[in-house]
Structure 1
């Protein structure tokens, strides 16, 4: 069975635009959470977010695209460009149906929709943009990336709240195994507008703290909710043979395993599904728990959800049995973009032999986690990335370095032997 390998990364995060800027900031423990500037949050109980600074879509995209796209789609289009460039891929050189796009979305183009609703209320229906018909839609990032790059293979969108980004990567892996040679996959979300803000506040999970240093503290006794953010990551995922045959500049690693589960409905006498997702993902990767060297946690930042995640991790790996980190404490939770960004961070951690820190948190002893709060240099063989979504979604992805020596046919192509 062909393996799905990652050959390109496109990252847009509150801590940095581009892979190496993001990674340097993450390793250094720089915080991208600050008071909102995209609108005045003074009338709301929460006012902190992870905003992307210095992104001017007009510097990267044709002017014709600007009036028809939401901020999240503009960021996604540019991130896809960066991922393709990082992978050394020229889409026009692919066969017509060899490339596809599979993204996830948490909320769609909220800001675009808000602006058009304002036009409807204030001026009338004739002033609503025709682009509203798709600019708000969950699938718009997949569609716009596909159109811009001429990728006409199987394209889709996954909607499973904050677990969706990992589920999209898993769907990309399935398409690779079905014969598609290259997939752009991952997620970018951006809902930092009043309409999106009210929707998030209604969920009851946002931190209302005023101090960025103490607002988002997963696995800490002071935890009081999360801080939202914008951005995410798009990955170029390829069939290993395609990557080798075209002499890809780099292979960051392999998506080795995945599983998704659902929690039971409230009041049902069954355990949460996260532990089962972890076990199934490890089984899919052919790895035992001792072979996982770091877990990138979902890190909800609420005591009951943090407890459930810590219990699942400890049940599989033993109390304190594996280093756990949540670099999203520096960016805020990027909704569907959070999981792919953690996968990008995990691949970079494997590359450099370093675990990025969970900044701000002082881990409470009763969670019994080896929570990494300072950058830790350590050899890494495989990483587990977790994500959960409102409504009971659980997703787990295992990544590891790509070793062509584990497959004889691929090794022969790399070495030129028979």
Structure 2
């Protein structure tokens, strides 16, 4: 029997809360992290809202030598890893370096760092460009910097699939655990809120132009007008349960029980999107039936047609109104590679506390969606298994099944 992968540590940096407890409290109480972009003058842009992490001071958490060579996204990743390792009670220095791996996802890379350096190139000349530009912009830099900082030399990787990439990273990390790696640090974070990055977000064509944080991002609402981008995400510590037991891990949140990914067919082919198939394959991988899933954490694009397609996939797989659906990301914005791991974190807290977080700010769900969207107030109920869905622009679909740890899984 293949060894399961259990989650023993969670590190969260989200627009509505830094640290797992703060994020979870804000998620249940409806505290939003959506606010007007304030890192540059956004007044001349048609979109001005973002999910921003306030008061993040990297110098309070990281050595000064790291600051000149890292973008904000890497600093967020390093701090999230520190939070996850502390939560798991892990001291990397006490574990075999080749027994620990790092698998992360990142969709945008170090946008602010590279924009600053390219501006120097244009205005001052090449001799003013930082030598760290050679890697600080790269989407793989987070995996590399985490590996170096903590001496983790085991199987490592980076996956890129926009919003779906974070789930892909967790799925791949689980694969390394099953192949014999004792511990893997995995997940994703994002941050790309400089003028260049902001223009890129707007160019996606999926952002809401509403300036009211309560109205701008309302997934599955009849008046949905797009999404709000966010920064941050979550890092998880995955372990072989025998290793977690050997070192007396302080807690085990749950098991990554199933994972699958698909790709949408080309437009105009007449074939259905691949999200439902990804969910079906993830359930098969976890060996659970649809009626054994207690809640679905939706991708929740906020774009009417994409919401309709996701609702169709959920209702088609589970039956109309048959399973509670939620999208706590309405309070944080879409975090791209950080969004899926943050939903996994929320699912694990939901399993622990037996409560489904609601989707705030949604007032009218079209009857044609046929989904039971949990809105405005948490819903208390036992949760044994949760399905997390994510879609990335360009056709990526990913699904993860998170399950409460069964006695058999710890043997």
On whether the aligned pair clears a TM of 0.5, the verdict is: yes
Q: Aligned residue for 1:416? A: none
Question: Does 1:380 pair with 2:383?
Answer: yes
Q: Aligned residue for 1:108? A: 109
Match of 1:371 among 373, 381, 385: 373
Deviation at 1:203, TM superposition (A): 1.1
Q: Aligned residue for 1:397? A: 400
Q: Aligned residue for 1:99? A: 100
- Measured against aligned partners, the alpha-carbon deviations of 1:137-185 in whole angstroms (never above 9, x if no partner) come to 0100000000000000011100011100000000000000111100000
Deviation at 1:334, TM superposition (A): 0.5
In 1, distance between residues paired with 2:297 and 2:319? 16
SS state of the match for residue 86, structure 2? helix
In 2, distance between residues paired with 1:364 and 1:71? 39
Deviation at 1:240, TM superposition (A): 1.0
Question: Does 1:406 pair with 2:408?
Answer: yes
SS state of the match for residue 102, structure 2? strand
In 2, distance between residues paired with 1:375 and 1:117? 47
Deviation at 1:96, TM superposition (A): 2.2
Q: Given the two structures, how large is their TM-score scaled by the length of structure 1?
A: 0.97
In 2, distance between residues paired with 1:389 and 1:67? 31
Deviation at 1:246, TM superposition (A): 1.0
Aligned residues: 408
- Across the aligned residues of Structure 1 and Structure 2, the Cα RMSD in angstroms comes to 0.7
SS state of the match for residue 97, structure 1? helix
Q: Which runs of no fewer than 5 residues in structure 2 stay unpaired?
A: none
Deviation at 1:244, TM superposition (A): 1.1
In 1, distance between residues paired with 2:3 and 2:226? 41
Q: Aligned residue for 1:142? A: 143
Segments of 4+ moved more than 4 angstroms: none
In 1, distance between residues paired with 2:366 and 2:42? 31
Q: Aligned residue for 2:47? A: 46
Aligned positions of 1:245-324 closer than 5 A: 245-324=246-325
Q: Given the two structures, how large is their TM-score scaled by the length of structure 2?
A: 0.98
Question: Does 1:224 pair with 2:225?
Answer: yes
Task: Say which is worse superposed, 363-372 or 243-252, in terms of deviation.
Answer: 363-372
Deviation at 1:192, TM superposition (A): 1.0
SS state of the match for residue 157, structure 1? strand
Aligned positions of 1:233-244 closer than 5 A: 233-244=234-245
SS state of the match for residue 218, structure 1? coil
In 1, distance between residues paired with 2:344 and 2:66? 29
Q: Aligned residue for 1:414? A: none
Task: Say which is worse superposed, 369-378 or 251-260, in terms of deviation.
Answer: 369-378
In 1, distance between residues paired with 2:41 and 2:331? 22
Aligned positions of 1:27-176 closer than 5 A: 27-176=28-177
In 2, distance between residues paired with 1:370 and 1:39? 40
